[in-house]
Structure 1
Amino acid sequence: MKVTLQPCGAVLDVHPDEPILSATRRLGFECPSSCRNGNCHICAALLVEGRVEQEGQAIDHGELFTCLAKPLTDCVLHWDGVLMPGELPVREMSCQVVACNSLGGDVFHLQLRAPAGKLPRYHAGQYLMLRREDGEFAAFSLASAPHNGREMDLHILARDESTRSLLAYFQAEGFVRVKMPFGDTHLAELPDGPLVLIAAGTGMAQMRSLIEHCRASGFAHPVHLYWGARNPEDFYALDVWDSWQQLDNLTLHQVVSDQCGWKGRCGLLHEAVSEDFPDLSNVHVYASGSPAMIYGTLDALVEAGMDAHQMRADVFAYAPRN
């Protein structure tokens, strides 16, 4: 039987005589339940369509308990709080501001520490939201990886007065309110093939998280990092850069778009990738940058032979193209 869950939209294949909750656990979903702790009714859901059998009775509408209910037909349930495989719950916490140091290029390293006993849960490549003084939240990529535990790192470009004021506010308060995690451009599962990571400016924060996770996980496939800036002075200091250069399966590329004649590569990021990869059919591409840069890169790489589904970027979710 097929059971469709609202509002998450997942469709479950439930085995004959299998309770719905058992099917969700078998398929890797996280669901509201606390049967083993003696808290009944936590797994309750609303039957919208279809029929189920529960404790010898047929039910065709109303509340049911997913730990007991077994579908008799295809069903639709309204069940809040269900998380898809790999999806993590969004939580809010108050984090200590440990440090705020300049990295050069008008970029600052903001280091946060989560409260003791509240280990932050996120996938490499995700981002968080920081509450500003006006109560609104601003999004920043995590430069740290999950194995860093309570310590979280951000790379924040502070060329305008509003961002500099925001950093000053965090430092003066000593704590900042955080909501996390967000974003589906992550490595909840490591791909079986080469990675091409494309970052413009502080998009490097997301790539640092991905690379450090690959490094900690023993990822064996080749990884190519392309870091772009307008001018060489815009490349800021990375604490891991020297150690990255020693990794056999990691190749680093710095690409400048507005100034040729420096020691490294010149041009656009997608031009460097296309030059190095005449065949893009087997690579997994992760990209971070402005919407214009991301969509320009996507179009260029698709024209060069890449399938559009091979490229992931958070821009696709928060700034979809019409």
Structure 2
Amino acid sequence: MQVTLQPSGAVLTLEPGERILEGARRLGYDCPSSCRNGNCHVCAALLVEGRVRQDGEVRDHGELFTCIAEPLEDCILLWDGVLALGELPVRTLACTVSECVEVGGDVWRVRLRAPAGKPLRYHAGQYLMIERDGADKAAFSLASAPHGGRDLELHVLAREPSSVALIEQLQRNGLARIQLPFGDTHLAELPDGPLVLIAAGTGMGQMHSLVEHCRANGFKHPVHLYWGVRRPEDFYAIEHWDEWQRLPNLFLHKVVSDLCGWEGRCGMLHEAVCEDIGDLNDVYVYASGSPNMVYATLDALVEAGMDAHRMRADVFAYAPRG
């Protein structure tokens, strides 16, 4: 039997005689439930199409309790609050601003502290939405990693009027109202192979989260971090950079694209990756930057031998290529 869930669109394939909640949990879904005997009503769902057996009765519409309902044919249910494996619930929080300092290159490091109580849940590499006065919410990668607990970190480039206004808002109010987590470019599970992290500008925030998560979890495979900017002065201070340089499996590369002649490396990020890594077949790539930069990187690395399915970037979700 197949049970399709709305609004998520998930399709559950249940075994004969299996109850809906039982099957959903077997398949790795996190479902609202409590008593599992139909008394608490926490697992209630609305039967949109199909037939189920519940308490000896056959039902073809209306409310049912997934802990005791058994499908008799393919069904469609309206069932809120069901999360797939690795998916986390979105929460809205009012956080205090614990730090808002300029760290170079017109970038501000913003640190927020979430309220005490229910622990924060997000995956390394995800992002949040922050409310702005008189404007739409803005998305920022979480530079912090989950082991940081209540403390969240953002890297905000304040050159455009909108981002300058956000920094002024945070300094003025001392509070930030946020929603999190979002994004599927994350490390819910550490890969069994080398990582290549590619960041343009403040895309470094997302890579900062991934590096700190790997460090906290004892990741043993090589991690190659490529950080690119247009001019050398666009690099900004990373608090843990000196510590990162001492890690035996972390290799740090700074690349400048528009101004050759500085003491470091020049060129495009994908060029640096291809120069350094001869075999891209076994690496897992995470990239953060503009859509043009990410797709140019994808094309170049695929041509150099990377499996396209091993590259992750938020751009693929919010700016899909036609």
Instruction: Report if TM-score (shorter chain) is over 0.5.
Output: yes
Mapping of residues 85-124 of structure 1, within 5 Å: 85-124=85-124
Q: Deviations over 1:185-232 (max 9, x none)?
A: 001111111111000000000000011011111111111101001111
Question: Does residue 253 in structure 1 map to residue 259 in structure 2?
Answer: no
TM-score normalised by L of structure 1 = 0.95
Mapping of residues 9-20 of structure 1, within 5 Å: 9-20=9-20
**Aligned-residue offset at 1:118:** 3.6
Q: Deviations over 1:164-193 (max 9, x none)?
A: 221111111111111111111001111111
Distance 1:171 1:37, change over 3 A: farther
1:93 alignment partner AA: L
**Aligned-residue offset at 1:78:** 2.0
**Unaligned runs of at least 5 residues, structure 2:** none
Do the aligned residues in 1 keep the contact of 2:126 with 2:184 (CA within 8 Å)? yes
Mapping of residues 163-242 of structure 1, within 5 Å: 163-242=163-242
Task: Provide the residue aligned with 1:66 in structure 2.
Answer: 66
Distance 1:57 1:291, change over 3 A: same
**Unaligned runs of at least 5 residues, structure 1:** none
Task: Provide the residue aligned with 1:146 in structure 2.
Answer: 146
**Aligned-residue offset at 1:135:** 5.2
Q: Deviations over 1:264-300 (max 9, x none)?
A: 2111001111112222111111000011111111111
SS for the counterpart of 1:35 is coil
Greater shift, 102-111 or 29-38, is seen at 29-38
Identity of aligned residues (%): 70
Question: For the residues of structure 2 that align with 1:314 and 1:67, how far apart are their CA atoms?
Answer: 36
SS for the counterpart of 2:88 is coil
- Runs (4 or more) in structure 1 with deviation over 4 Å come to 36-39
2:57 alignment partner AA: Q
Q: Deviations over 1:54-89 (max 9, x none)?
A: 122222333221000112233322212211111111
SS for the counterpart of 1:147 is helix
SS for the counterpart of 2:239 is coil
Greater shift, 260-269 or 137-146, is seen at 260-269
Task: Provide the residue aligned with 1:28 in structure 2.
Answer: 28
Task: Provide the residue aligned with 1:81 in structure 2.
Answer: 81
1:259 alignment partner AA: L
Distance 1:56 1:228, change over 3 A: same
Question: For the residues of structure 2 that align with 1:124 and 1:224, how far apart are their CA atoms?
Answer: 17
Question: For the residues of structure 1 that align with 2:169 and 2:275, how far apart are their CA atoms?
Answer: 44
Q: Aligned-pair RMSD on alpha carbons? A: 1.7
Question: For the residues of structure 2 that align with 1:159 and 1:61, how far apart are their CA atoms?
Answer: 56
SS for the counterpart of 1:192 is coil
